[in-house]
Amino acid sequence: MDNIRVAITGPKGRMGKNLILAAKQENISIGGILVKPGSLTVDCNEIDIKVTDNIYNIIDNFDVLIDFTNPKSTLKYLDICRIYKKSMVIGTTGFDQTENKLIDIASKEIAIILSPNFSIGMNVILKLLEKTTKIIGNNSDIEIIEAHHRNKIDAPSGSALNMGKVIANVMNWQFDQHVVYNRHGSISKRKNQSIGFSTIRAGDIIGEHTAIFANMYERIEITHKVNNRMNFALGAIKATKWLKNKQSGLFNMWDVLGLSSL
């Protein structure tokens, strides 16, 4: 049993269930399960795991909180973890600039891994996008297409936006000034130096992302597809182990995988 202890939020959700399974698979001690207030009934298949709707009931039972909920809940947990010096692995997406700033401020006191996608494959894709953009970004029309299940709330996905930000950073573009989210009603040709986003919400698609680099003669498509949500959960557990000896700082999966310096 690894001596790092975790608490996991949202055990009834798609990710929560897989995070519990992944922690068990990787021999990580689960010090508690956090549910929404008033919803204490949960089957976690472990009678010795404390299930609670109040984080203070398990505050002494974990070292790292793994949270894949929503911005409002995550920020509530963030403030408590900062006070009690608990690290966090955050997979929540949909934060605005102010909320991201709060996470950055908290990271001066606790260690945080923030990533819109904990898939190892997706993070390799991001590095490929960085390299591809350096070579042909100036000579390409760039589009990003993403597809997720019908219940996903934020759009474009955090991973799609992260792909765009990696590309914009290489191009030295101010991201918000070069994105196109909606072409409805447009009667002009495609803008140069832009990144177009297309979003699909259908069925139970786990996650598919494609970046297109196209010119008049050829195109490159870089695609990542997830077959099972356990992929994200195992990535989050890998990140949790990596955090073990970190006291403070804001990190991402490139740091965990050693991709930052490549």
Q: Is 10 annotated as a binding residue?
A: yes
The verdict on 81 and 164 lying in the same domain is no
Please list the active-site residues.
Answer: 148, 152
CATH number at residue 34: 3.40.50.720
Question: How does pLDDT run across 17-38, given as a tens digit for each residue?
Answer: 999 999 999 999 999 999 987 7
Residue 262 covered by a domain:
no
Q: Does residue 235 share a domain with residue 133?
A: no
Whether the bond between 156 and the residue before it is cis, its omega within 30 degrees of 0, is: yes
**Residue pLDDT tens, the chain, 262 long:** 468 999 999 888 888 999 999 999 999 999 999 998 776 665 555 556 888 999 999 999 999 999 999 999 999 999 999 999 999 999 998 899 999 999 999 999 999 999 988 999 999 999 999 999 999 999 999 999 999 999 998 899 999 999 999 999 999 999 999 999 998 888 899 999 999 999 999 999 999 999 999 999 999 999 999 999 899 999 999 999 999 889 999 999 999 999 987 7
2 is in an annotated binding site: no
**137 shares a domain with 73:** no
- Report the CATH number at residue 216: 3.30.360.10
Same domain assignment for residues 112 and 233: yes
pLDDT tens track for 211-244: 999 999 999 999 999 999 899 999 999 999 999 8
Q: Which domain holds residue 204?
A: 120-225
Has residue 36 been placed in a domain?
yes
The structural domain count of the chain equals 2
Say if residue 93 carries a ligand binding annotation.
yes
> Assign residue 209 a region: left if phi > 0, alpha if psi is -120 to 50, beta otherwise?
beta
Asked if 23 contacts 5 with a C-beta cutoff of 8 angstroms, the reply is no
Residues 44 and 23 sit within 8 Å (Cβ to Cβ): no
Residues 65 and 133 in one domain: no
Mark whether 18 and 86 lie in a shared domain.
Answer: yes
